[in-house]
Amino acid sequence: MLYLSILLGNFLIILTVNSDPRLHTPMYFLLANLSFIDVCVASFATPKMIADLLVEHKTISFEACLTQIFCVHLFAGGEMVMLVSMAYDRYVAICKPLHYTTIMSRRVCIVLVIIPWFVGFIHTTSQLAFTVDLPFCGPNQVDSFFCDLPLVTKLACTDTYVVSLLIVADSGFLSLSSFLLLVVSYTVILLTVRKRSSASMAKARSTLTAHITVVTLFFGPCIFIYVWPFSSYSVDKVLAVFYTVFTPILNPVIYTLRNKEMKVAMSKLRSQILKPGQVSTLIRNVLPLET
């Protein structure tokens, strides 16, 4: 049920943003793209995990296992950088409001969408490059819900100390630099918001709260789990479920329950869908963007 609500919630965001011309702004396009990554994050392992709950012998082929590793680093890396893109958009909107439309042109917006996928791809390819040549000959049990790197490299019949170090450094570098960029940009933004206390800042503030909540919920558990001294047991499994099942549901919840524009657009979408004559218009509006 949680998985179905992830799909439903995120597709609803994508549909709403693409079908309402008033939401055709960089902020909402980035939000729709974040929702798309969320669907990917939730879908590369969760269906298999659910199916595995029903069978006694839970097996996966080596190729599928490598594919899962590829996907988790592509999508999770992409999601982190997408949060940075969204922070940059908010930074321009709040700290350089008069130049917003010139800076955030259609081209810049597309670049902000492509960079996360590009960085995610580089990150996951470099991770796999460390792994794919390892000799796997003996143990073949992964103690988690899907294949991820420290667990799989542990199965290799060779000393994987250096490889593990490289993997930790690679993931650590990406998450730490995204996190620092996010902290710096939201600090600058919050300082700017505090200086100006006009009414127009009230809306900016509520959007900001949503963004900062998502960022905290994304990075918070990770930091907490690694810093907390007693948490060495099954941390991998907790993190695996948290990041593939709970974070993808956060965005629909946080962005739609708190955001008036989204709510208005969604009720408009609902009345549009309920009027049969307008379904074709809706489909014509939405499909070209989806393909």
Ligand X SMILES: *[C@@H]1O[C@H](CO)[C@@H](O)[C@H](O)[C@H]1NC(C)=O
Binding residues (CB under 6 A) for ligand X: these are: 14, 17-18, 29, 32-33, 36, 109-110, 113, 289
What is the nearest approach in angstroms of ligand X to the Cβ of residue 36?
Answer: 4
Which tokens in the block code for residue 103? 């800076």
Which tokens in the block code for residue 31? 């939000």
Cβ nearer to ligand X, comparing 23 with 72: 23
What is the nearest approach in angstroms of ligand X to the Cβ of residue 28?
Answer: 8
What is the nearest approach in angstroms of ligand X to the Cβ of residue 290?
Answer: 7
Cβ nearer to ligand X, comparing 155 with 289: 289
- DSSP-H helix ranges across 228-259: 235-241, 247-258
Counting beta carbons within 10 angstroms of the beta carbon of residue 104, is it exposed (0 to 12), middle (13 to 18) or buried (19 or more)? buried
Q: What is the largest CA-CA distance in the chain?
A: 66
Question: Identity (one letter) of the amino acid at 101?
Answer: T
Cβ nearer to ligand X, comparing 131 with 248: 248
Give the C-alpha distances (Å, rounded to integers) separating 42 from 4, 89, 242, 252: 10, 25, 10, 13
Cβ nearer to ligand X, comparing 16 with 131: 16
What is the nearest approach in angstroms of ligand X to the Cβ of residue 181?
Answer: 20
* Residue, CB closest to ligand X: 32
